[in-house]
Amino acid sequence: MMVETIRYEITLTNVTNPATVQPLTYSLTTLFNSQQSQLFSSSYSIANPLPLSFTHSRSNSTYAQSAILTLTLTSSYPTFSEIKLQAPANLMTIGSSNGYQSSISNNTFEVSKIYSLSANNSLSINIVNPSSTSITGSMVMNMYLNGYLTAQGNTNIAAVGPVYLGVTASSSNRVVGGKTELTMVVNRVSPFAAESSLVVDLSSNLFDLTNATYNNAPLTLPLTVPITTTSITISNLSNLLSIQNLPSFAGLTLYTIDSVSSKVAQNTIKSSALIANIPATAVSYSYIRSNTVIGGTGTLTISYTASLPSTISTMTIYLPDKQMAMVTTTCQVQIGAAALTTCSIISSTNNTITIAYQNQSKVILSNVVNQ
């Protein structure tokens, strides 16, 4: 009797993969003289489910606050009988809602019994944001058909932002170049047990901080104070030497932090309500007209001592409207005790003149007519 071993390889083409990862058994029967001779079988399952893509949005993205998380599919998806969601427990707290069931195991929340999507291929669940502004993570969506996985995807969930910190701030002097104090009053509207310190961050584009102090000690920024602090005063600040055109919100931020220095609550203060907005007044100034007769023409002598001469680049003189006017633009300046010299005129009209400032103590306008 001769025994032969014959190897056959059968290839099926244009085969559609199963709809799920459910293991399937394939059978092959051989016949000899039209009678069953041998039976071969093998089990096989799809290794990877169909990939899903989806986006997410939150109705509230702040620390430890309740929110509605909406997931929207942006890719095609297969027929399904149930959707399940999974997310790390430190990323969010998920409650049961809309008939969905939430449970937790191994520090992971799972939402099940989701049987359909809305008309725009989305679903919404109730969550509570994490008690940390530094935690990020991924949420997984699994689709099942008759209990077997058919499609899967995930989306990255960004960190939440700090909640609102109640703060009012004021400066005691808003004159250019003047000394001032900055006082901040803090109201922790919704205090959290995790808050460990209060931090003040102040930029040098608001004040000159060279000699600034806090509690009679040199100021170090950012300034960290106990969480129970309700009033903070920074002393010996100097207003900048000109009125700044800054963004509405810039330069002063107060926030609370937890034990790992993640922000819990925060507020950025309007800089326009704090910085210098009043021009500095001259040390002294006087005006003398050589002719006081109505319609008469003469000279106008202006003696001027600036309070911040090193910061001035131009000087503009405005003549009283409907009282005086320049017949011709003729101007001289005197610097200290030096002889009179011709002004460097930048622009002029019949009642306004702008000249270069050279720390002059006297400006003389000739041919000024009384009106």
Among 273, 300, 322, residue at a domain's last position: 273
| pLDDT value of residue 8 | 67
Last residue of a domain, one of 160, 187, 216: 160
pLDDT at 15: 64
- Report d(CA 17, CA 44) in Å as an integer: 11
Predicted local distance difference test score (pLDDT) of residue 9 = 72
Q: Which domain holds residue 222?
A: 163-273
**CA 216 – CA 236 distance, rounded (Å):** 10
Q: Which amino acid is at 159?
A: A
* 119 in the same domain as 37: yes
222 in a structural domain: yes
- Does 80 fall in a domain? yes
Q: What is the pLDDT of residue 2?
A: 59
The CA angle 218-208-256, to the nearest 5 degrees, is: 60
Residue 279 within any structural domain of the chain: no
Nearest residue to 150 (alpha-carbon basis) of 254, 48, 72, 39 = 48
Q: How many domains does the chain have?
A: 3
89/108 Cα distance (integer angstroms): 5
Q: Are residues 174 and 260 in the same domain?
A: yes
Q: Is 146 contained in some domain?
A: yes
Residue written as tokens 């102090």? 213
We report the CATH number of the domain holding residue 334 as: 2.60.40
The answer to whether the beta carbons of residues 181 and 172 sit under 8 Å apart is: yes
Separation between Cα atoms, residue 334 and residue 304, nearest integer Å: 10
Q: What are the φ and ψ backbone dihedral angles of 210, each rounded to 5 degrees? A: -55, -45
pLDDT of residue 241: 87
- Rg over alpha carbons for the chain, rounded to the nearest Å, is 39
Domain end among 130, 160, 190: 160
Residue 355 in contact with residue 346, Cβ under 8 Å?
Answer: yes
Q: Are residues 190 and 242 in the same domain?
A: yes
307 with 236, same domain?
Answer: no
Q: Which two tokens stand for residue 59?
A: 């109705």
**Token pair listed for 287:** 């005006």
Residues 346, 228 share a domain: no
**What is the number of residues in the chain?**
371
Those residues with Cβ within 8 angstroms of residue 14's Cβ, 6 or more apart along the chain or in another chain: none
Tell me: do 107 and 197 sit in the same domain. no
| Same domain, yes or no: 295 and 251 | no
Distance CA 95, CA 115 (A): 17
Do 67 and 108 belong to one domain?
Answer: yes
Predicted local distance difference test score (pLDDT) of residue 61: 97
Q: Cα–Cα distance between 363 and 360 in angstroms, integer? A: 7
Do 127 and 206 sit in the same domain of this protein? no
Q: Are 45 and 22 in contact (CB under 8 A)?
A: yes
Q: For residue 88, what is the domain's CATH number?
A: 2.60.40.10
Residue 357 sits in the same domain as residue 293: yes
Q: Mark whether 289 and 361 lie in a shared domain.
A: yes
Q: Does residue 48 lie in a domain region?
A: yes
* pLDDT, tens digit only, all 371 positions of the chain: 555 666 767 776 766 666 677 676 767 777 777 887 777 777 666 778 899 999 999 999 999 999 999 999 999 999 999 999 999 999 999 988 888 999 999 999 999 999 999 999 999 999 999 999 999 999 999 999 999 899 999 999 999 999 999 999 999 999 999 999 999 999 988 799 999 999 999 988 899 999 999 999 999 999 999 999 999 999 999 999 888 887 666 789 999 999 999 999 999 998 888 999 988 887 788 999 999 999 999 999 999 888 888 778 889 999 998 899 999 888 999 988 889 999 999 999 999 999 998 888 899 999 899 98
Which DSSP letter does residue 212 get?
Answer: -
Contact status, residue 69 vs residue 91, Cβ threshold 8 Å: no
End-to-end CA distance of the chain: 140
278 domain-assigned? no
Same structural domain for residues 255 and 294? no
Asked whether residue 228 is domain-assigned, the answer is yes
The SS3 assignment for 90 reads: coil
Residues with Cβ within 8 Å of 236's Cβ and at least 6 positions away in sequence, in order, are 179, 181, 211, 212, 213
